[in-house]
Amino acid sequence: LQKSLSETFGADKYSRARKEVLTYMFSRPMQMALYFCTGVLDDETLFHHYALNVPFYTHFTSPIRRYADIIVHRLLSASLGARSPIKMEKEAIQKQADHCNDRKMASKRVQELSADLFFSIFVRVRP
């Protein structure tokens, strides 16, 4: 897909903009990753990462970035015996995960609307 897209971008002054727009349009429908507490899910196939093709997957970044990553760090540290278990019930962890997912979805929607607005302006002012 990437090769065929690269061949369609062209070499004029708008090729970079075309590349960004097409790449965005193709990646937009991909399913977003969701935070969840494994203790509330019975179906372990939901832990599968499609693109990496691994049966169990955990993703996190630096805990200074997002609250969900702080929770993941604390849970991983506790599971490795590096700290005591966190004092939260699995339902409370899932509630936090749901809240983080809601905020992430809202942020993504605002980003999409902003991109749509600026793309519309770009198309309108382009002769």
Q: What is the DSSP string of the chain?
A: -HHHHHHHS-SSTTHHHHHHHHHHHHHTTSPPP----GGG---GGGG-BTTTTBSS------TTT-HHHHHHHHHHHHHTTSSPPPS--HHHHHHHHHHHHHHHHHHHHHHHHHHHHHHHHHHHH--
Q: How far apart are CA 127 and CA 114, in angstroms?
A: 22
Residue 84 confidence (pLDDT): 93
Answer yes or no: is pLDDT of 99 > 90: yes
Which residues share a beta bridge with 49? 54
pLDDT higher for 66 or 105?
105
Residue 60 confidence (pLDDT): 72
Residue 5 confidence (pLDDT): 67
Label residue 28 by pLDDT band (50, 70, 90): low
Inter-residue contact 86 to 57 (CB < 8 Å): no
Residue 13 confidence (pLDDT): 79
pLDDT in tens, 34-64: 888 888 888 888 788 777 888 888 777 776 7
pLDDT in tens, 2-21: 677 667 777 777 778 877 77
Answer yes or no: is pLDDT of 76 > 70: yes
Domain extent listing, the chain = 1-30, 34-125
Answer yes or no: is pLDDT of 106 > 90: yes
Q: Which of 54, 81, 59 is nearest to 71 (CA)?
A: 59
